[in-house]
Amino acid sequence: MNQIINQFIEPAQQGSYFTIPFNIPQGVEVLHVRYAYNRFNEQDTRIENRIIGSKEEVNIIDLGLLDPQGNQVGTSGSDKESFFVSEPLATPGYKPSPLIPGEWQILVGAYKVAPEGVTVTYEITFTLKKPNLLKGDLHTHTIASDGVHTAEELAWKAKRAGLDFVAVTDHNQMVSADALPRLEGVTLIAGVEWTHYKGHANFLGVDKPFDGCFATNTAEETQAIFQTARERGALISINHPFEECCQFQFDMNTLPFDCLEVWNGPMRESNLKAIGLWQSMLAAGKKMPICAGSDYHKDTPFIFLGGPTTCVYALSNGTSDILQALRQGHAYLTFAPDAPSLKMSADNNTIMGDSIDWSKDSEMKIEVDKLLAGDVIRLITAQESQPVWKAEKNGRFEMTIPVEQPGFIRLEILRAFLPGLPLLPALISNPIYFDAK
């Protein structure tokens, strides 16, 4: 999508500032602005010191951008001929910002205008959002708490590991998005792991999910912290609910949260218990999305960034789209970044996490890539857990299954990670919910 604006500037406007409004529609991932005008006197052929000198500047027009609230997103004087803005990244001098639909303004500074005036041509281009599969780690610690790396080091490690996003979740240490490094291809999500003697929870995507201090002594104080985080738009996950050192002892029914962290670090007893809890919530009719995080502090033989990985179908790599996809359950979890991948759909508009009305003709389509020989695919409902396929060789699997009754259907891929070891989850999906009409 592309829009051209020709703006004539009168000589009388020299020395003044004004704005040109333009509209950003719904669903824009990247805004690009380019401008051009006759800056130099082309007739000027001065030769200085036998070198062709710079031509005389007859027009100098400055550039900037304001958001719908009139806040300055960036200015670049007359230094840059173009800039771009997106949520995770922008041209230096411009603040990475979500492209909220509405009326934005180009800031024009008429620093110098020729006696005959000047026409400035602005080209505004939108790159539209589209669903992408992004991989990330939603639970990490840095030197701000008990990790050994800086956020910048985590970003580079994530890039090398093939991750698209990392949430920085230090114990009771908030971090603002502006303070996190910007690295092309890796979105750093501001977060905090609210860490209490009676349980841990992540608050993601807002700079300051609660005021005052993390410490609470009553259920009411704890509820107030969760409620404030929810009101401020944080994504809230209940972390490692059965981890021995830090079980979640608060009553989950009294606290608002968006996701259950059923897979924390290496697969083990406490995670299997969390998956069991989740299964019982689903069976009770609660549509609860899941998430995963490595709880990375430093590399050990069993702990690495992206172990496990949360894979989301998000509309862009902006924090708000990633968190929105998690809330919708448009996600599955894998043991590592380089693991089987999954597409699961009931029709073109219904993917994992979504609900659709059940009918006797309902079907679900499964597509899995990067299976290893011996992998087992299981489909799990409230009533049963059925192996539907055992891979005889490495590769791809596709199947459409009839959905015989309403309820949720989720998928797990199980793998023997070493010969002789029992099968453990290599992938866990959110369900598709087939609702009884």
CB of 255 to Zn ion, least distance (A): 16
Residue 84: how many other CB atoms lie within 10 Å: 16
| Closer to Zn ion by Cβ: residue 32 or 297 | 297
Structure tokens at 53: 């000198």
H/E segment holding residue 222: helix 219-231
Longest dimension (CA), the chain: 88
CB of 238 to Zn ion, least distance (A): 10
CB of 168 to Zn ion, least distance (A): 11
| Closer to Zn ion by Cβ: residue 138 or 315 | 138
- Distance set, CA 27 to CA 14, 38, 68, 95, 316 (Å): 37, 34, 16, 19, 9
Residues 6+ apart with CB under 8 A from 4: 121, 122, 123, 124
Can you tell me the distance from the alpha carbon of 373 to that of 302, in angstroms, rounded to the nearest whole number?
23
- In the complex, residue closest to Zn ion by CB: 200
CB 372 within 8 A of CB 415: yes
CB of 250 to Zn ion, least distance (A): 14
CB of 25 to Zn ion, least distance (A): 39
CB of 239 to Zn ion, least distance (A): 5
Of 322, 311, 308, 325, the C-alpha closest to 274 is 308
CB of 57 to Zn ion, least distance (A): 56
Structure tokens at 368: 């899995």
Of 286, 344, 292, 340, the C-alpha closest to 313 is 344
| Closer to Zn ion by Cβ: residue 87 or 295 | 295
| Closer to Zn ion by Cβ: residue 137 or 295 | 295
| Closer to Zn ion by Cβ: residue 246 or 372 | 246
| Closer to Zn ion by Cβ: residue 193 or 354 | 193
| Closer to Zn ion by Cβ: residue 200 or 330 | 200
CB of 140 to Zn ion, least distance (A): 8
Q: Region of 62 please: left (phi>0), alpha (psi -120 to 50) or beta.
A: beta
Tell me which residues touch Zn ion (CB under 5 A).
193, 200, 239, 295
| Closer to Zn ion by Cβ: residue 8 or 197 | 197
Residue 295: how many other CB atoms lie within 10 Å: 24
| Closer to Zn ion by Cβ: residue 250 or 313 | 250
H/E segment holding residue 434: strand 432-435
CB 426 within 8 A of CB 335: yes
> Which strands make up the sheet holding 60-66, listed edge to edge?
16-24, 102-112, 60-66, 72-77
CB of 83 to Zn ion, least distance (A): 37
